[in-house]
Amino acid sequence: MHDFPLIVFDLDGTLVDTAPDLISALNWVLAREGLAPVPLESARKMIGQGARRLIERGLEAEGREMSMADVTRLTSDFIDYYAEHIADDSKPFDGLIAALDELEASGYRFAVCTNKLEWLSKRLLEQLRLTERFAAICGADTFGVAKPDPVILQQTVAKAGGRMSAVVMVGDAGPDIGVARRASVPVIGVEFGYTDVPIAELKPDLLIGHFRDLPAAVARLLPAMTS
């Protein structure tokens, strides 16, 4: 355990704008089933609870019911396709790199806690050349639990070498606010992510609309440690 403040980020809709590639993969799966594509803007709100839930919500949007076995098959096909196209159009949100640079210089370290599969998360961050930024990259399958279960956040912090008393969560949707609350960790909400409930209504401790505002928000909730 080390005395450094740790910032734990959600991935999709928080660090990286992954919607174009996720929805492209979803629409590829839907097209194979003879279904119409889901428009990108409305589909953005479907993201954030893992691949299977995205498939289920895509089918719901089309009014199509399928068996659990069929959904499992589509989810597997989706993941295969998505893995090959994971960074075609996905990119870090504006201002992220500068914010990380500023925070790192102030002594903060970073981790990722996502409901995306760990290997897909690592593949995405590797292709975006962001892997080295994070002390831990943990997904829904890393510890066998997903957000908002507090265990995933607690274990992510432990894997990063941090401690729960010096953590702030940054996320864009209900699972992020929920996991932070259950783990008694302060949380910053980002307004540019993917959520079917407006992030302000979920009442994060602070709200930012651009990454340029992250360093000041973090400093308010989790001051840098000078020792």
In the predicted model, is pLDDT for residue 89 greater than 90?
Answer: yes
Q: Rounded to whole angstroms, how far apart are CA atoms 9 and 23?
A: 22
Question: Is 88 in the active site?
Answer: no
Encode pLDDT of 94-103 as tens digits. Answer: 999 999 999 9
Cβ within 8 Å of residue 55, ≥6 positions away: 26, 29, 71, 74, 75, 78
Average pLDDT estimate for 121-129: 98
Q: Which of 10, 149, 172, 176 is catalytic?
A: 10
Tell me the residue type at 156.
Answer: T
Which of the four pLDDT bands, split at 50, 70 and 90, describes residue 225? low
End-to-end CA distance of the chain: 15
Domains within the chain, CATH numbers bracketed:
6-17+90-221 (3.40.50.1000), 19-84 (1.10.150.240)
Q: What is the pLDDT of residue 226?
A: 45
40: tokens are 């990108």
Average pLDDT estimate for 100-125: 97
Q: What is the pTM of this model?
A: 0.94
Mean pLDDT in the chain? 94
